Amino acid sequence: LQPRSTLRHSLIPFLLAIPTPTRCLPPSLSHSIPSCPTKQPQKMGDLSIDFGLINADNVEQLKKINQSCFPVTYNASFYDDMAKKQDENLCKFAYWNGFAVGAICTRIEPMPDSPGRQRMYIMTLGVLAAYRNHGIGSKLVSSVLDYFESNKDGDNNDDTNNNNNSGGKFLTVDEIVLHVQTSNEDAMKFYGEKFGFERGELVENYYKRIDPPHCYILRKKLR
Q: Which amino acid is at 8?
A: R
Q: How far apart are CA 83 and CA 77, in angstroms?
A: 10
How many residues are listed for the chain in this entry?
Answer: 223
Q: How many CB atoms lie within 10 A of CB 54?
A: 25
**Extended beta strands in 10-56, E state:** 50-53
Q: Which residues lie closer than 8 Å to 1 by C-beta, 6 or more apart?
A: 21, 23, 61, 64, 99, 100, 101, 128
Which of 74, 79, 147, 179 is flagged as catalytic?
179
Check 74, 79, 95, 121 and give the catalytic one.
121
Active site residue 134: no
- Among this protein's residues, is 179 annotated catalytic? yes
DSSP label at residue 3: B
User: 217 — phi, psi (to 5°)?
Assistant: -90, 125
What Rg, from alpha-carbon coordinates, does the chain have? 18
**Catalytically active residues, by annotation:** 121, 179
